[in-house]
Structure 1
């Protein structure tokens, strides 16, 4: 007997009433304030990771440096 795993995903953005524009604005703020890296935002949108996208922005502290997530 062969067993196949099934993955079910629910899109909750419609339930929350968030438009794509609002979602992207939230991601933009989170990235700029060092709360999320762009790969975390991409994962929430079911997108593949980008190159060098595991870096956190340091613009919140006045520096243009970026740190890499460990």
Structure 2
């Protein structure tokens, strides 16, 4: 069973680069982004690895995961 960890997101939502760096830093700690909510980010615990995250702004409410 995969362990899920929830963390409070940085509050400056418009600072996209800051979020991208934060998600990448979390992956180096073994926390890989699974789902993002309004205030919380949900991570799956796994092996530490370097993942570069990029955020794309859209007006669609449902975005499918490429994985």
Q: Specify which structure has the higher proportion of helix.
A: 1
Highest CA radius of gyration, 1 or 2? 1
Relative contact order: is structure 1 or structure 2 higher (C-alpha 8 Å, sep ≥ 6)? 2
